[in-house]
Structure 1
């Protein structure tokens, strides 16, 4: 029998190969099932918009494995962000000013970008191995309900993905979207969704 660690490594290796080729993956996150791609690859991001049947003027959430990776893609992370991340105990997406080195179609025109640091073993392993932020948008057609667990992902989404994670990796997912807040250049905080 293959150990859980070997299964995880094999799945992560497969997903990273697809991501490096500009593909789209379907995977569990700390919140809901997501569609993901290389957040620095505009063509991969275009595929996400096409699968979701969504206009590309809405920015996307990106996942990073921790503060070091976040700092490489945000010009200057406001000090308040570190305090919020330190005390936060549930999935939280923070929209930061000053995004850089990301696909322009993944961020807003005014260079704001939404990031989350997932508390989920599969996601963290995947992001660490990939070495770059992952787009993470709910695995649904725009306007329909976000899939809380694999059973609720539509067949259209499953078939559109270039790689699909085994649902055994969904352990640790809440099945609920994250809270969202926005930070301004001067450190002001705006709650978007609790």
Structure 2
């Protein structure tokens, strides 16, 4: 199912429809502030497993997830004062921050070292979905691992739409993933340069 939604002022009725799909265990493709992502409720074990299968990705490489705000992040990750100041300055934005996980995070979404990648995209659609859902949303680029993510939702729907429950059309996206930054041990390390600027890192 392809559903078109206003990327600036997402219609509440459509957000509720998307979230109802997620609550029923659905897997969706949706726009972020970088590429389109594939996601499900982080507590939907079958959904997470299905996304691994769609991506053809090694299960030892867990996905990141989207939170609504910094307060919610603190439920799922250990946020030091150092990390809080960095994230407050740069979120919402095109960054994934790696932090130590709390026990709330499902094993399928944390590494062996018990770390997690967390995003707050600058996307009204993402923020509305996660707020309505009440849980973080799994996020990983809408592609087969190693391939480029199309920017056009119609192209994504053509390639992957039959594998998911819903494709949310929020218009043409960027085709560059988020910048991944580790904040472990109160130090900054760029793990992947993406669309987020890193000029602020000394």
Same-fold call, TM > 0.5?
Answer: yes
Does structure 2 conserve the Cα–Cα contact (< 8 Å) formed by 1:8 and 1:122?
Answer: no
1:121 and 2:127 correspond = no
Question: What residue in structure 2 maps to residue 140 of structure 1?
Answer: 143
- Listed as ranges, the gaps of 5+ residues in structure 2 are 194-202
Runs of 4+ more than 3 Å apart:
3-7
Does structure 2 conserve the Cα–Cα contact (< 8 Å) formed by 1:32 and 1:138?
Answer: yes
Secondary structure at 1:181's aligned position in 2? strand
Secondary structure at 1:142's aligned position in 2? coil
Does structure 1 conserve the Cα–Cα contact (< 8 Å) formed by 2:62 and 2:108?
Answer: yes
Question: What residue in structure 2 maps to residue 78 of structure 1?
Answer: 80
Distance 1:83 1:95, change over 3 A: same
Distance 1:111 1:170, change over 3 A: farther
**C-alpha displacement at 1:88, in angstroms?**
2.1
Question: What residue in structure 2 maps to residue 94 of structure 1?
Answer: 97
Secondary structure at 2:181's aligned position in 1? strand
Question: What residue in structure 1 maps to residue 29 of structure 2?
Answer: 26
Question: What residue in structure 1 maps to residue 40 of structure 2?
Answer: 37
In 1: Cα distance, 2:9 partner to 2:181 partner: 37
Q: Aligned-residue CA RMSD in angstroms?
A: 2.2
Deviates more, 1:174-183 or 1:137-146: 174-183
**C-alpha displacement at 1:101, in angstroms?**
1.6
Question: What residue in structure 2 maps to residue 189 of structure 1?
Answer: 188
Does structure 1 conserve the Cα–Cα contact (< 8 Å) formed by 2:70 and 2:88?
Answer: no
Question: What residue in structure 2 maps to residue 164 of structure 1?
Answer: 167
In 2: Cα distance, 1:65 partner to 1:7 partner: 16
- Listed as ranges, the gaps of 5+ residues in structure 1 are none
In 2: Cα distance, 1:6 partner to 1:98 partner: 33
Deviations 1:55-90 (A, max 9, x none): 21101110111111111111x212222221232274
Secondary structure at 2:113's aligned position in 1? coil
Distance 1:43 1:91, change over 3 A: same
